[in-house]
Amino acid sequence: MVLYRKMTPEDVEAVHEIELASFPTPWTLDSFHYEMRENNFAYYLVAENDAEKIIGFCGMWLVIDSAQITNVAVVEAARGLGIGEGLMREAMRIAKEKDVDVMSLEVRVSNVVAQNLYRKLGFQDGGIRKGYYTDNQEDALVMWVNLNE
């Protein structure tokens, strides 16, 4: 069983380990501490397994009536088990609770697995950000969903 809960400052180290293993240009440990302690717009979720080990996380910024997904990652051993979908569904539920109308995100144009998940959740293609990713100048596909439909 997987438990989805709000991330706390005590979770930063575990989340950062997942970040390091998941992205070619990972956020720094300090960035996650800032998100937890100082960014009033930030809301992060973690997924915990039965052993209370964090196996995934999802971050978003909630600004007025919109939400921007900042990052979503799952440990490699737990990928393909629906954890990412569970994190996204929980983020969408929380955003709706907070009267958010629209949620958006950027995803690598090469990350078809993630794009398919987002489309399954109702996200639509919104455009391309040329050279968005700094590690290889890959384009990002902007995707969005209206949470009130």
- Please list the pLDDT of the chain residue by residue as tens digits (149 residues): 999 999 999 999 999 999 999 999 999 999 999 999 999 999 999 999 998 999 999 999 999 999 999 999 999 999 999 999 999 999 999 999 999 999 999 999 999 999 999 999 999 999 999 999 988 999 999 999 999 87
Looking at residue 88, its pLDDT comes to 98
Looking at residue 127, its pLDDT comes to 95
Task: Assess whether 118 carries a catalytic annotation.
Answer: yes
Strands 54-63 vs 66-74: parallel, antiparallel or unpaired:
antiparallel
Question: What share of residues in the chain are helix, strand, coil (percent, to 5)?
Answer: 35, 35, 35
Looking at residue 149, its pLDDT comes to 77
Looking at residue 21, its pLDDT comes to 96
17 three-state secondary structure: helix
Looking at residue 34, its pLDDT comes to 97
141 three-state secondary structure: strand
Tally of CB atoms within 10 A around 37: 10
User: Does the structural domain 3-146 have CATH classification 2.60.40.1220?
Assistant: no
Q: What pTM, to 2 d.p., does this model score?
A: 0.94
Given 76, 85, 106, 133, the catalytic residue: 106
Given 4, 43, 44, 118, the catalytic residue: 118
Burial profile 49-64: b = 16 or more Cβ within 10 angstroms, e = fewer: beeeebbbbbbbebee
The residues spanned by each domain of the chain are 3-146
Task: Assess whether 17 carries a catalytic annotation.
Answer: no
